[in-house]
Amino acid sequence: MRRAVLFVALALLLGCPEPEPEPVRPPPEDPGPWAVVGLAVSDAVINQGVEIPLWRNSAPVTTARKAPVIAGRPALVRLGLLPAEGWVRRDVLVEFTVVQADGSEATRQTVLEIDDAPVDFTDPEVSLNFELPASEMQVGTRIRATFWETARWEIPVLEGEPAAWPPDGTSEPLLPTDHGGVLRVDIVPIRYDFDGSGRMPDISPEQLLVLEEAMLGRYPAREVILEVRDGIAVDYEYDRGGEAMGATLSTLRDLRPSLDIAWDTYLYGMINPDETYGAFCNLGCTAGIGYRPTNPMNEGLRVGVGLGFAGPETGYVMAHEVGHGHDRGHAPCGGAANTDDDYPYAGGGIGVAGWDVISGEHIDPNGTADVMGYCQPEWVSDYTFEALHQRMAALEGLRDHVEDRSDGELWTAIDVIGGATTRWAPRAMVFEPEGEPIAVGLLDGAGRRIGKVSGWFVGMTHIDGGTVFVRGDLPGDVADVVIP
Q: Scan residues 440-469 and list those touching Zn ion (CB under 5 A).
A: 461
**Complete DSSP assignment for 423-451:** ---EEEE-----SEEEEEEEE-TTS-EEE
314 or 461, CB closer to Zn ion?
461
C-alpha 427 chain-centroid distance: 34
47 or 461, CB closer to Zn ion?
461
171 or 461, CB closer to Zn ion?
461
253 or 330, CB closer to Zn ion?
330
Q: Is 384 in the site for Zn ion (CB under 5 A)?
A: no
**Complete DSSP assignment for 154-184:** B-PPPPSPBPEESTTS--EE---B-SS-EEE
Strands (E), 303-358: 303-307, 354-355
- What is the rounded distance in angstroms from the CA atom of residue 7 to the CA atom of residue 3? 6
Q: Between β-strands 409-417 and 426-429, what pairing exists: parallel, antiparallel or unpaired?
A: antiparallel
CB of 428 to Zn ion, least distance (A): 29
Nearest CA among 66, 14, 117 for reference residue 380: 66
330 or 389, CB closer to Zn ion?
330
Q: Please, are residues 430 and 471 in contact by the beta-carbon 8 Å criterion?
A: no
In a 3-state reduction of DSSP, which class is residue 232? Answer: strand
Nearest residue relative to Zn ion (C-beta): 461
Q: Please, are residues 193 and 233 in contact by the beta-carbon 8 Å criterion?
A: yes
- What is the rounded distance in angstroms from the CA atom of residue 84 to the CA atom of residue 157? 11
| Per-residue DSSP letter, 124 | T
CB of 385 to Zn ion, least distance (A): 17
- What is the rounded distance in angstroms from the CA atom of residue 302 to the CA atom of residue 73? 25
Point out which residues pair with 53 in neighbouring strands.
45
267 or 331, CB closer to Zn ion?
331
CB of 330 to Zn ion, least distance (A): 5
- Total residues contacting Zn ion by CB under 5 A comes to 1
Strands (E), 245-385: 266-271, 288-290, 303-307, 354-355, 362-363, 369-370, 378-379
Q: Please, are residues 69 and 48 in contact by the beta-carbon 8 Å criterion?
A: yes
163 or 318, CB closer to Zn ion?
318
- What is the rounded distance in angstroms from the CA atom of residue 264 to the CA atom of residue 183? 8
- What is the rounded distance in angstroms from the CA atom of residue 424 to the CA atom of residue 437? 18
Q: Which amino acid is at 371?
A: V
70 or 350, CB closer to Zn ion?
350
70 or 460, CB closer to Zn ion?
460
| Contact residues: Zn ion, CB under 5 A | 461
